[in-house]
Amino acid sequence: MEDIPGVELRHLRYFVAVAEAGTVTEAARRLRIAQPSLSQQIRLLERRIGTPLFRRLPQGMELTEGGQVLLDGVNRALGELSSSVAAARAAVPVATVGMCRGVAQPVLARVERILAGGGRLKLSYRQVDSEAQGDLLRAGGLAFGILRAPVDTTGLELRTVNDEPLGLVLHDRHPLARKPRLTWSDLTGQRLLWFPSERAPGYAATVLAHLRERGWAPETVPDDNSSHTLFRHLLIAHDDLVALRTLSSSHGDPDLVWRPVGPEPPHERLVLVASARTSWGPYLKDSDG
């Protein structure tokens, strides 16, 4: 409003109320403000616009020609504003979700029920390692994250979306594949095909410590790519190489098998995370998923 400085939306609403009521007294009653204050605001509006808007008559307030022009324009503008506000309220927000590698489809479906159930949100996914998600969430670069715990929880809201024991993945001709269940002693001499620990250092340290406590301290073979073809190629090519995966993330390859290991297998805990300082945090609590 560069041509009419000082004019606020409330001044225009006051003007419309007087025009519709026909008297300042009735308009002040409807607006629940004092009559002298309303009269002052109308006079101030006329000075700032630079033209009389009403004729003051014994029976009330009558619009001038300029007042009628302004009323028509204000009604159009207020109608557009109301429509825009309604449209804004009805718009479904789009939330960017960081997702670590290897999230199984049932877990992703659970996350979508929590966040997008009832059409509350539209979700856009971005692959981000667990370690990088915390800083992005705190800085506003992500709305939510799906990552492997444990993580630094400073300033974050967390909700566990999957807690599942890890088992061994090996090729179907591997000598250990004949056993329906493996023990820690079975794994003596076996190497572990393992992701780069810097992607999820808290999770990596926890799992490897768990293995050592149960007597298996394997040599790790880096699996630094996201290609399942290369992952399975390495397992099929070696009889002394296994991988750790959850059962839910290990289906779909006829040449690989999953075997439980124990007692006390390590667990993979996936958490859904949002910054506690943003409006996204309550979404983690509002639904049972």
Q: How far apart are alpha carbons 175 and 132 in whole angstroms?
A: 38
User: Is a pLDDT exceeding 50 seen at residue 95?
Assistant: yes
What tokens does 176 get?
């250990």
Q: How far apart are alpha carbons 269 and 160 in whole angstroms?
A: 7
Please give the pLDDT value at position 289.
Answer: 53
- The beta strand positions in the chain, using DSSP E, are 54-57, 60-63, 94-99, 122-127, 144-148, 156-171, 182-183, 191-194, 220-222, 241-246, 256-259, 261-262, 267-275
| Res. 87 pLDDT band, cuts 50 70 90 | confident
**Residues 6+ away with beta carbon under 8 Å from 14:** 27, 31, 38, 41, 42, 45
Q: CATH 1.10.10.10 occupies which residues in the chain?
A: 9-90
Burial 168-188 (b: 16+ CB within 10 A, else e): bbbbeebebbeeeebebebbe
- Residue among 75, 43, 74, 73 at smallest CA distance from 61: 43
Please give the pLDDT value at position 286.
Answer: 61
The proportion of the chain whose per-residue pLDDT surpasses 90, expressed as a percent, equals 78
Q: CATH 3.40.190.10 occupies which residues in the chain?
A: 94-161+270-284
User: Is a pLDDT exceeding 60 seen at residue 288?
Assistant: no
Helix (H) or strand (E) holding 108: helix 105-116
Q: What is the rounded radius of gyration, in angstroms, for the C-alpha atoms of the chain?
A: 33
Task: Choose which CATH entry (3.20.20.70, 3.40.190.290, 3.40.50.300, 3.40.710.10) describes domain 165-267.
Answer: 3.40.190.290
- Residue among 157, 125, 128 at smallest CA distance from 276: 157
Instruction: Provide the 8-state DSSP code for 79.
Output: H
Length of the chain as a residue count: 289
Which is more confident, 117 or 196?
Answer: 196
Q: Which residue has the tokens 């307030």?
A: 61
User: Is a pLDDT exceeding 50 seen at residue 1?
Assistant: no
Q: CATH 3.40.190.290 occupies which residues in the chain?
A: 165-267
Q: What angle do CA 113, 117, 123 make, to 5 degrees?
A: 80
| C-alpha to C-alpha distances, 20 to 76, 141, 225, nearest whole angstrom | 15, 49, 70
Which of 36-45, 53-62, 92-101, 244-253 has the weakest average pLDDT? 244-253
User: Is a pLDDT exceeding 90 seen at residue 20?
Assistant: yes
Per the CB < 8 A criterion, the answer to whether 159 and 251 are in contact is no
What tokens does 280 get?
């996204």
> How many alpha carbons fall within 13 Å on the CB side of residue 208?
17
Task: Choose which CATH entry (1.20.120.1080, 3.40.47.10, 1.10.1370.30, 1.10.10.10) describes domain 9-90.
Answer: 1.10.10.10
Per the CB < 8 A criterion, the answer to whether 45 and 13 are in contact is no
Cβ burial, residue 97 (10 Å; 0-12/13-18/19+): buried
Chain-wide mean pLDDT for the chain? Answer: 92
Instruction: Provide the 8-state DSSP code for 11.
Output: H
> What would the mean pLDDT of 179-184 be, rounded to a whole number?
97
Query: Domain 94-161+270-284: which topology?
Result: D-Maltodextrin-Binding Protein; domain 2 (3.40.190)
Please give the pLDDT value at position 159.
Answer: 95
User: Is a pLDDT exceeding 80 seen at residue 251?
Assistant: no
> What would the mean pLDDT of 138-153 be, rounded to a whole number?
94
Centre a 10 Å sphere on the Cβ of residue 279 and count the other Cβ atoms it contains. Answer: 10
